Structure 1
Amino acid sequence: MDIPTKRPLGRPIQQQDSISTSDLILHSASVLFMEKGFENVSMNQVADHSGVTKATVYYYFPTKTDLFVASIVGVLTRVNERIEHILQGPGSFQERLLKISVNYLKVPQIHMDDMFGKIKQHLSEEQQNQLIHQEDALYQTLCKGFEEAARQHEIVCSDPNLAAHIFVSMLRIGERQYTGRTKLFETTEEAAESIISFLWRGIHN
């Protein structure tokens, strides 16, 4: 009987599907960080969630902050790509904003500003700039959407950048939870529709 060769500690596992081990770890880390926040997630939890060893996690990401930055940059990149895809898709600008809102509110998340503030002291200047750059890119995509809608006379908007920031701020209100986990809105759809309806009254042409 052949004796299986023991895999060296920390070597990456060969995935059977198209998802690489590093991407699998990043996906698990992003889910955990967005649901629990930086302080409440350990490398052990990420390893368990990913189905790999803790040593494998460290093989790709030497520190927890390295993992955090890489996973959140990935999240912001995907969110930005999704928003850009929706904005370039069919429907009125109001319908597209509603679709963006529903997509955003369906994802459990810790507020980026709160989380960033808590760990900022643990990040290098380069890591901080990575996060800021990706978040700025998201606002720029939304800004272009408002700018184009104004150009097409769908809305009245003299400051697209301000409109983009107000929109995101309103979405954060939509996911607000109170004591006892009571929410401001009963459903994601109700939150999205209420937010867009309120916003639309201020910018509709």
Structure 2
Amino acid sequence: MKQSPRVLGRPRHDENAKPKKDIVLETATRLFIKEGYKNISMDDVAKACNVTKATIYYYYPTKGDLYTSALLAMMDRIRLSILHILEQSIVFKERLEQLIEIHLSATVDIDMKNFMREATINLSTSQLKEVQAAENNMYKTIEQAMQREMEQGTIRKGNATFFAHAFMALMSVGYFKDGEGERLFQSEAMAAKEIVDFFWQSVEK
């Protein structure tokens, strides 16, 4: 029987290999983290993946689509990590400390503020809405945990949304470096303890 021709630009499929789309996305994410949106072209991604540019465009029609997908995947991984930590059966304060320590360690090379700034500048309105929705889902995970702890009497009653955003804002201090590149905290563990101790004073009963 005559084989149907492949769609132009569609990559060959190997059942035993990691999906090409995943490889493209992971590679592009690493490049965006290292070089930023403007400094990475679709050709750069194709070369790094050892595939044709047509393959990249088959999965991601524009660089904005690729950048959007990279951000969505990154935020979803962060959200799932947050969820996993917050669902543990240890005291809430310890969960918060663990969340900050792990999050800071895992994202030490990721400048999320710059990622979001470049998204605002370079993405379409619909793409930006997708990114903002994913960001809101991250906050929602923490907000729901705050609400549960309020209901269980672990922390004082208050606005769970405010608590979640305040916590995330404080967590970002863990990335702070002065003009000479010196970090505010000597380690992620120290940052986690100091930040949670500060936050806890405002929510403890």
State the TM bucket, normalised to the shorter chain. Answer: 0.7 to 0.9
Match in the other structure for 2:116? 116
Distance change (3 Å), C-alpha of 1:20 and 1:88? same
Corresponding residue of 2:68: 69
Matches within 5 A, 1:1-205: 10-12=9-11, 14=13, 17=16, 19-106=18-105, 107=107, 108-112=109-113, 114-205=114-205
- Rounded to whole Å, the distance in 1 between the matches of 2:115 and 2:159 is 28
How far the C-alpha of 1:14 sits from its partner, in A, is 4.1
Contact 2:146 2:160 in 1 (8 A): yes
Partner of 1:3: none
Choose 171-180 or 47-56, whichever is displaced more.
47-56
Aligned length: 198
**Ranges of 4+ aligned residues in structure 1 off by more than 6 Å:** none
Q: Is the 8 A contact 1:143 1:161 kept in 2?
A: yes
**TM-score normalised according to structure 2 size:** 0.84
Q: 1:11 to 1:180 in 2, by over 3 A?
A: farther
Given residue 34 of structure 1, which amino acid in structure 2 is its aligned partner? I
Instruction: Provide the secondary structure at the position in 2 that maps to 1:166.
Output: helix
Distance in 1 separating the partners of 2:18 and 2:167: 34
**Letter paired with 2:139:** Y
The residue type paired with residue 151 of structure 1 is E
The DSSP-based 3-state class of the residue aligned with 2:180 is: helix
> Which letter does structure 1 place at the counterpart of 2:171?
L
Matched residue type, 1:199: F
Unaligned 5+ segments in structure 2 are: 1-6
Moved more, 58-67 or 32-41: 32-41
Counterpart code for 1:25: V
Query: Contact between 2:119 and 2:128, CA under 8 Å: does it hold in 1?
Result: no
Structure 1, residues 176-198: CA drift from partner, whole Å, max 9, x if none?
Answer: 22333211112122211211121
Contact residue 156 and residue 204 of structure 1 kept, 8 A: yes
2:4 is matched with: none
**Which amino acid counterpart does residue 109 of structure 1 have in structure 2?**
I
CA distance, structure 2, for counterparts of residue 33 and residue 157 of structure 1 = 41
**2:62 maps to amino acid:** T
Which region of structure 1 is more displaced relative to structure 2, 180-189 or 139-148?
A: 180-189
CA deviations over 1:153-186 (Å, ceiling 9, x no partner): 1111401111111111111110122333211112
User: Structure 1 residue 15: deviation in Å?
Assistant: 5.3
Alignment partners' CA distance in 2, 1:164 and 1:145: 9
Within 2, Cα distance between the matches of 1:15 and 1:172? 41
Counterpart-to-counterpart distance in 2, 1:169 and 1:15: 44
**45-54 vs 8-17, greater mean Cα deviation:** 8-17
C-alpha distance in 1, partners of 2:44/2:101? 29
* TM-score between the two structures when normalised by the length of structure 1: 0.84
Q: Give distance in 2, aligned partners of 1:99 and 1:50.
A: 35
Unaligned runs of 5+ in 1: 1-7
Give me the whole-angstrom Cα distance separating, in 2, the residues matched to 1:200 and 1:97: 10
* Rounded Cα–Cα distance in structure 2 between residues aligned with 1:52 and 1:180: 40
